[in-house]
Amino acid sequence: MPEPKAEFDGLYPCDFYEPEELLDAEQCYTVYEIARLLQDLDPDASIEPETEAVLLDWAIPWIMTNAEALVVADPRSDDEPGYYGLRRPEDLPDGSE
Structure confidence by residue, pLDDT tens digits, 8-53: 999 988 888 999 999 999 999 999 999 999 999 999 999 999 999 9
Using the predicted structure, report yes or no on whether residue 7 has a pLDDT greater than 70: yes
Bridge partners of residue 29, in order along the sequence: 84
CA pair distance 82, 33, nearest whole angstrom: 11
Using the predicted structure, report yes or no on whether residue 95 has a pLDDT greater than 60: no
Q: What's the predicted TM-score (pTM) here?
A: 0.83
Count structural domains, the chain. Answer: 1
In a domain, 20, yes or no: no
CA pair distance 89, 92, nearest whole angstrom: 6
Instruction: Give the domain extent around 36.
Output: 26-88
Beta-carbon contacts of residue 94 (< 8 Å; ≥ 6 apart): none
In a domain, 32, yes or no: yes
